[in-house]
Amino acid sequence: MESTVVIVNRETDLDAVRAARLPTAEMLSLSVRGIDMGSPWATISHVEVGTVESACFIFDVADLQLVETPSPAALALLKAFLETSGIAKVVHDSRAPSDVLYRQCNILLRNVHDTQVWWSVLSSGDELHLASFNDTLISYGCAPVPPRDESALAETPAFWATRPITDEMQGWAVQEMEALFRLQAAQNRLATPAQEGRCYAESCVNLARFRDAYSDVVYVHASQLGPLIGSGGAHIRALEHKTGTEFMIRDAPRAFVVVYAPSKKTLAAAIAELQSFTLPAAQTVYASARADDLVS
């Protein structure tokens, strides 16, 4: 079935969106694109919502929010089906999307099939383990999505703010929509009823990991990025476990760590642990450790 793409902005006639009956669907795919995702200052560019009938709707939040009063009907529609518990939203790693949707759009995302959480529960059964979208697809025998031009994204930090929304962005949206549905189906086939319940519960927990946490930013000296991360991310994961917090690392244009913690006391303790990494490192080479060793 050939996919269709509808860009929803201030000029869009919402009849096509209503015709897809998004607020009454049983399941939708969800991807949120933005600038500095995972940081306290993240901003949404657009929200991609897909149906099992291969219709992809790109809600241009950056454009829609140019109108402050009254709020555009398209944003009210988006809020309606993202907040309802009657629709399962299939998303890979809901932490940052849930956080920025709430802060920027006052949308409280509910009822998600978080494919990263499902992978973690089905493969290990204990604490949350992070895996990239493509690695998760491959582990279930699903075709990965074609790699993006990461150099373009790195050279243009505001890439997702480009307007009009490009054909390339639309193509990525369709590819991810289709892949999310394939992955969801594969995970459902393998899960036992007991595992399904655990996956749903842990997906709910993941929604709040960033959204309901205390957070702060620690800028890391460039020479300390390797020692902080460690081989394959081992050191920073151990530090997360020790402090009871979660870290998000960014290495451009300046390296920093976003710390998410359940309490102010825990946040302060984690920041204290990171202070030594704000100073230049000793002359030790950690060429293999980079921020992209971690999945975010």
Mean pLDDT over 135-163 rounds to 85
If you search the block for the tokens 């060429």, which residue do you land on? 287
Same domain, 167 and 228: no
| pLDDT at residue 150 greater than cutoff 70 | no
Same domain, 30 and 106: yes
Q: Which of 54-68, 138-152, 180-194 has the lowest mean pLDDT?
A: 138-152
Of the three residues 181, 211, 241, the one that is the final residue of a domain is 211
User: Which has the higher per-residue pLDDT, 68 or 31?
Assistant: 31
pLDDT more than 70, % of the chain: 91
CA angle 223, 224, 228 (to 5 degrees): 150
Same domain, 42 and 185: yes
Same domain, 197 and 226: no
pLDDT in tens, 6-44: 999 999 988 877 777 788 899 999 999 999 898 889 999
User: Which has the higher per-residue pLDDT, 252 or 43?
Assistant: 43
Same domain, 187 and 96: yes
Query: How many structural domains does the chain have?
Result: 2
Same domain, 249 and 123: no
Of the three residues 154, 186, 211, the one that is the final residue of a domain is 211
What's the pLDDT at 289? 46
Same domain, 54 and 122: yes
Same domain, 198 and 136: yes
If you search the block for the tokens 């946490």, which residue do you land on? 213
What's the pLDDT at 285? 45
Same domain, 190 and 268: no
What's the pLDDT at 126? 60
Residue 245: CATH number of its domain: 3.30.1370.10
Domain that holds residue 255: 214-293
Asked if residue 280 has a cis previous peptide bond (ω within 30° of 0), the answer is no
Same domain, 246 and 198: no
CB 113 within 8 Å of CB 184: yes
Of the three residues 191, 211, 231, the one that is the final residue of a domain is 211
Give the chain's mean pLDDT.
Answer: 90
Same domain, 73 and 104: yes
Residue 94: CATH number of its domain: 3.30.420.10
Same domain, 169 and 89: yes
Which tokens hold the place of 257? 């760590």
